[in-house]
């Protein structure tokens, strides 16, 4: 896989967070993780598998503070800790990213 294949995922992430959470994310340099069991350092992550023309995994990883802000915006209520609703938000985001990346 080359880095051009990552651009749809970056764009889908920016779009999902901007549309659903009114957050304009800033991202670091993209990188590949060769070991399926290793994720980027984060307080909470969600992973979804891809099959088809591109096979692999999409992972979204958040710090606690970033996730609580995103979840508060998406749920229209202040979230001060990671509960079931906040966990569901992470699952929704990874679904939106995976789905949105297919549209490009």
Nearest to 60 by CA among 36, 86, 90: 90
Is the pTM of the predicted complex or chain greater than 0.95?
no
Q: Which of 23-27, 40-44, 90-94 has the highest mean pLDDT?
A: 90-94
Residue 26 confidence class, pLDDT cut points 50, 70, 90: confident
Q: What pLDDT digit, counting tens, does each position of 44-92 carry?
A: 989 898 888 778 888 888 999 999 999 999 999 999 999 999 999 999 9
What is the CATH classification number for the domain harbouring 11? Answer: 3.40.1550.10
Q: Which helix (H) or strand (E) holds 47?
A: strand 44-50
Number of domains in the chain: 1
Residue ranges making up the domain that contains 39: 3-101
* Three-state DSSP state, 98: helix
Cα dihedral sign, 43-65-75-49: negative
Contact 32, 1 (CB under 8 A): yes
Q: Tokens for 44, please give them.
A: 């909470």
Strands 56-62 and 44-50: antiparallel
């Amino acid at each position: 896989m080359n880095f051009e294949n990552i651009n749809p995922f970056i764009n889908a992430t920016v779009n999902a967070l901007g549309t659903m959470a009114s957050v304009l994310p800033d991202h670091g340099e993209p990188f590949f993780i060769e070991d399926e069991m290793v994720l980027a350092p984060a307080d909470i992550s969600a992973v979804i598998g891809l099959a088809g023309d591109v096979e692999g995994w999409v992972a979204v990883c958040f710090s606690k503070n970033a996730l609580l802000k995103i979840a508060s915006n998406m749920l229209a209520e202040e979230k001060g800790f990671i509960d079931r609703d906040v966990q569901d938000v992470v699952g929704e985001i990874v679904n939106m990213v995976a789905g949105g990346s297919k549209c490009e």
